[in-house]
A and B are shown apart, each in its own frame.
Chain A
Amino acid sequence: MHTIHVTPTENPSDHPPPTLCGSGVNWLGQFQAMASECDVLIEGLSQKDALVAVKLAAIEVWRIEYKYSRYRSDNIMASINNSQGKTIEVDIETSALLNFSEQCYQLSAGLFDISSGVLRKIWHFDGSDNIPSQTDIQSTLKSIGWSKVQWSSPTLCLKHKMELDLGGIGKEYAVDKVKQSIDLLAASLPSFAFLINFGGDLACSGTRLNGQNWEVAVESIKKSDSVDAKVNLNNGAIATSGDSQRYLEKDGIRYSHILNPKTGMSVANAPRSISVAANTCMQAGMLSTIAMLQGADAEAFLDAQEVQYWIQRK
């Protein structure tokens, strides 16, 4: 195993350095980011070139994580969320992400809303029966709603108490960006194939070098006997939404951690997890997220999208 040297500037959140294992032309690069284990599988490169590709991947994901993390006080999200009603101007990348979020808000008729993060302040998915009161929900809803945000790229004005959170698209964005970076690198390298998997959000460059599909284990189609079910992937991306471990339960009703930004309530009958295949990871991620918000209608929604998907219900 080879540890890849990174400078503190390249690793602003101080993660352990990336590692590379493998031999010949088959490599697995690993590092941590966005609370996930991130894998980069590479075929066809020398160790030296694989090291470059994995380092590039890690630096890019860490850059995005650092820039858009809601836990930091020194990044663009902090500037946005502390703007307190003042108009601020954002950079080109943030501007593009906000435009994308706005389109998703419109396409999902308000179900996907990056201003809904404040609901976390009243909903604590700790497995208890601690359901927030209607009073709390109603007062929190006043600070939610993308339509209340004044956004005209690149200027943004957020009302008092409102907050934005790009966590819902950050990892998918990172997957697509890394894929794009490695694709650019490919211009100066011999032909190679790669698959990136950041905790269930994944994308590949195409088929493997031998022309076969990548076999990917997708959590949503894991068999009950815990044997991974395999999905064949030969282009595009897969994103997974859902996390079976986070819920509240009261009076026999299970409240999923999927929250409807319009009602402030937990979405009833939300699937345990949804995986969607699409051209880009952002597209796949958005479809799985919006499907999740449809609750019992998730399948119907996804059928209408005419995409390949896998749903796990309990």
Chain B
Amino acid sequence: MQLNTEVRDKTKDKSRFQKISPALAIASIGILGANETLAKDELDRWDFDTAVLLYAEADDRVSAVEPVFSATRAFDNGETLNIKLAYDTLTGASPNGATPSKQKQIFTRPSGKGKSTIASGESPLDDTFKDSRVALALNWTAPINREWEYSTGLYGSKEFDYLSLGGNASIKHYFNQKNSAINFGISFSSDQVEPKGGTPIALAEMAHKSDDDFKDTHKKTREDDSNSKTIQEGMIGLTQVINRQTIMQFNAGFSYTSGYLTDPFKLLSVIGSDKSDSDYGANFQDTNSNNIYLYEARPDSKLRHSFYWQTKYSVSNGDMIDSSYRFMIDDWGINSHTLDFRYRWYFTLNKERDSYLEPHLRYYSQSAADFYQRYIDSDDYQLGDPNFSFASADERLSDMNAVTLGLKYGWRYQEGKEVNIKLEYYSQSHSGKKGIGSLSNQELYPGTKAVMLAIGYSF
């Protein structure tokens, strides 16, 4: 061993060498900051997700454009803040609930101003359907310690005639070496609806513009107050790592909604049900020979339970399978099943596995609400059958099956930067009681077909 013991002229020796240690120090500190939050500037601490969603239903019904912007900031101690802003514009027409008819039909617009005429055999649509919605959500997640984490959020959205405000909180506990986690969450929201021209009184008859005393009769169908509803939800979830490839999630939850749950824009047709009568199967008419349409009525509360099971499986080549099943049951009599399946297939465009294709298949099936009726029989109408203290012809409450087929392509062109495009086809069909008499020739359950295109960019 030798510790600089040799006699030599150090100064002379040294001068042959450049002092590179400071440059090396800077270089080594530089590299250690290369992918660490320590050296990140503020912008690098944020992740942004942007997307534009285009939705169009067949036959020029509803179309929507929805830009979504989401920003997430990660903090050094594991907290994250997420801000999401969405804006959507819906235009087009949606079914107003009345049945098609062999005669032309005239509807008073929901506002009471103006009328719309539907040709014979056509599906009655509410063509005043145009709305913009802006929504803002904030979410904060933070670890309490290594085993507990909490999350809390606020939500607000505003439409022309609708305001929704809400909040949520959840707590998550990791255990079993973080292979398991249990999650409890609650949320609350309060919605206010103020339809233009007032809220229709449940099961009131629509006033006709042609009536002499239209102003008075229309006014009698309206209440002035705005209507509100509250939604309270609770959820318990379990996440379990099964093995290196598989992770499962089980959720059970309830949701209790109370208040004004009726759709103020939906009507029901009253159909002549007396076989011996000449108007059997035709729209039942009042003394002014105007068709009778009733505003719909729904219960003022709904209790729903849901169960959800999701499995994510990572294939040995790194591809991902994501499948889930959800069952929901509520006290309106709607039971629904949702099956969802996605396969993410990675492949190489420029760099190793920088691209993926993801086929998506979703199947949805529900049973009708107890008070769903495609139309009201004139017998029931005349008797004031207690069975229709609630009634709705809203197709979303009918027996329904829906299939979604989609394909998504994503390209991660740089670390943390992805562009993706998703195209989906959606087909929804309904069923229920058949038409009688002349109504049997009408298409009562036309169904809905739609395409959706979403373009996303994450950076």
Q: Are A224 and B1 in contact (CB under 8 A)?
A: yes
Residues from chain A with a CB closer than 8 A to the CB of B3 are 221, 310-311
Is A249's beta carbon under 8 Å from chain B?
A: no
Q: Is the contact region of chain A dominated by helix, strand, or loop, or is it mixed?
A: helix
| Complex Cα gap A57–B427 (Å) | 52
The smallest beta-carbon distance between B24 and chain A, in angstroms, is 5
Is A306's beta carbon under 8 Å from chain B?
A: yes
A-binding segment of B11-19, B53-61, B219-227: B11-19
Is A104's beta carbon under 8 Å from chain B?
A: yes
Is B351's beta carbon under 8 Å from chain A?
A: yes
Residues from chain A with a CB closer than 8 A to the CB of B25 are 278-280, 283
Selected contact of A107 from candidates B20, B37, B415, CB within 8 Å: B20
Residues from chain B with a CB closer than 8 A to the CB of A176 are 28, 32
| Complex Cα gap A5–B176 (Å) | 11
Is A307's beta carbon under 8 Å from chain B?
A: yes
Q: Are A304 and B28 in contact (CB under 8 A)?
A: no
Q: Are B352 and A79 in contact (CB under 8 A)?
A: yes
Contact digits for B13-42, partner A, Cβ 8 Å, 1 yes 0 no: 111111111011101111110111110000
The smallest beta-carbon distance between B355 and chain A, in angstroms, is 14
Selected contact of B13 from candidates A7, A79, A224, A303, CB within 8 Å: A303
The smallest beta-carbon distance between B78 and chain A, in angstroms, is 8
| Complex Cα gap A91–B244 (Å) | 25
Selected contact of A297 from candidates B15, B16, B23, B30, CB within 8 Å: B16
Is A180's beta carbon under 8 Å from chain B?
A: yes
Q: How many residues of A contact B (CB 8 A)?
A: 54
Given A9-B244, A280-B25: A305 and B31 within 8 A (CB)?
A: no
| Complex Cα gap A103–B30 (Å) | 11
Nearest A residue (CB) for B350: A89
Q: Is the interface on chain B under 10, 10 to 19, 20 to 34, or 35 or more residues? A: 35 or more
Contact digits for B109-151, partner A, Cβ 8 Å, 1 yes 0 no: 0000000000000000000000000000000000101100000
Is B10's beta carbon under 8 Å from chain A?
A: yes
Is A251's beta carbon under 8 Å from chain B?
A: no
Nearest B residue (CB) for A4: B177
| Complex Cα gap A294–B13 (Å) | 12
Is B287's beta carbon under 8 Å from chain A?
A: no
Residues from chain B with a CB closer than 8 A to the CB of A300 are 8, 10, 13-14, 16-17
Q: Are B18 and A184 in contact (CB under 8 A)?
A: no
Q: Tell me which residues from 281 to 297 in chain A have a Cβ below 8 Å from any Cβ of chain B.
A: 282-283, 286-287, 290, 294, 297
Is A92's beta carbon under 8 Å from chain B?
A: yes
Contact digits for A178-209, partner B, Cβ 8 Å, 1 yes 0 no: 00100010011000000000000000000000
B-binding segment of A15-23, A94-102, A130-138: A94-102
Residues from chain A with a CB closer than 8 A to the CB of B145 are 188
| Complex Cα gap A236–B3 (Å) | 21
Is A301's beta carbon under 8 Å from chain B?
A: yes
Residues from chain B with a CB closer than 8 A to the CB of A211 are none
Selected contact of A96 from candidates B4, B35, B350, B351, CB within 8 Å: B35
Is A159's beta carbon under 8 Å from chain B?
A: no
The smallest beta-carbon distance between B40 and chain A, in angstroms, is 12
Given A287-B21, A287-B24, A311-B2: A297 and B13 within 8 A (CB)?
A: yes
Nearest B residue (CB) for A301: B17
The smallest beta-carbon distance between A133 and chain B, in angstroms, is 32
Q: Are A307 and B21 in contact (CB under 8 A)?
A: yes
Nearest B residue (CB) for A76: B352
Q: Tell me which residues from 218 to 233 in chain A have a Cβ below 8 Å from any Cβ of chain B.
A: 220-224
Is A177's beta carbon under 8 Å from chain B?
A: yes
Interface residues of A (CB under 8 A from B): 5, 7-9, 52, 79, 88-89, 91-93, 95-97, 99-100, 103-104, 107-108, 173, 176-177, 180, 184, 187-188, 220-224, 278-280, 282-283, 286-287, 290, 294, 297, 299-301, 303-307, 310-313
Task: With A92-B35, A188-B78, A312-B1 given, name 9 new contacts (CB 8 A).
Answer: A99-B27, A99-B30, A107-B20, A180-B38, A280-B28, A283-B21, A299-B4, A300-B13, A306-B19
Interface residues of B (CB under 8 A from A): 1-4, 6, 8, 10, 13-21, 23-25, 27-32, 34-38, 76-78, 143, 145-146, 177, 244, 350-352, 415
Give 22 pairs: A residue, B residue, CB < 8 Å, sorted on A.
A92-B415, A96-B34, A97-B31, A99-B30, A100-B30, A103-B27, A104-B27, A107-B18, A107-B23, A107-B24, A177-B32, A184-B36, A188-B146, A221-B1, A280-B29, A282-B32, A283-B21, A286-B24, A287-B24, A299-B4, A303-B10, A312-B1
